[in-house]
Amino acid sequence: MKKKILFFEDLGKKEYEETWKYQKKLFDDIIQKKVKNISYQKAGYFLFVEHPHVYTIGKNGKKDNHLLVSSDFLEKIDATFYQTDRGGDITYHGPGQLIGYPILNMDYFFTDIHKYLRLLEEVIIHFLWKNYGIKGERKKGKTGVWFHVKNGKSRKICAIGIRMSRWVTMHGFALNVNTDLRYFDYIIPCGIYDQEVTSLKKELKKNDISFQKVKRMVKKSFQEIFDVEFTPMSKKLDQ
């Protein structure tokens, strides 16, 4: 069967708000074509990005989980804060964290939001095992990827929060690679009180992990799990 094609773009380091608006533009474009029954040549987009220090909270997030995130404190730690349109509670994004934003027309895949979330988890689980031989796990009733769910205190390495409308997705996953984990101490990540947050750097006990190498490997895992091929955004044909 012919593979589905996604436009791929690595945005490098970019502010959260600017990226959010860009995502929304791509998301709205797909929806408008669906509403008008216009044929769409590709199955969607996949973006990589690395944000400056920022806290984001989902539309149903609880303010009690903000902890120290006040305007004065944000300025002190050089961070920003945004209420977003994704699901999930408060989380942190920042340097050394790989963000993946799939903006997919699920008509090309399947129309099952829970299956989609599980496949996003599977991308990270596949990446961790294939490239580092470490076992990422799911936690019952929670979204994301963890270590030692049943043996010892669980540690979360990847957060996932999405929005889906008319079977089009946006937002995605945040994988801690070389992330400064101190920024998680100022919140209750994803509203879970008893969790620890970890990074690939911490788990492998290394000074630094090649961010570019991680990007290549996560991209390959996404291709394999979702059975897609990527084409550069520069080759976009349908605008």
Pairing relation of β-strands 4-13 and 228-232?
Answer: parallel
Residue type at 58 in one-letter notation: G
Give, for 102, the enclosing helix (H) or strand (E): strand 97-104
Q: What's the CA gap between 52 and 32, in Å, rounded?
A: 31
Q: Other C-beta atoms within 10 Å of 149: how many?
A: 18
Euclidean distance between the first and the last CA atom of the chain, given in angstroms as a whole number: 27
Token couple for 113:
């939001």
49, 190, 214, 218: the catalytic one is: 190
Q: Tell me whether residue 158 is one of the annotated catalytic residues.
A: no
The SS3 call for residue 201 is helix
Active site residues: 190
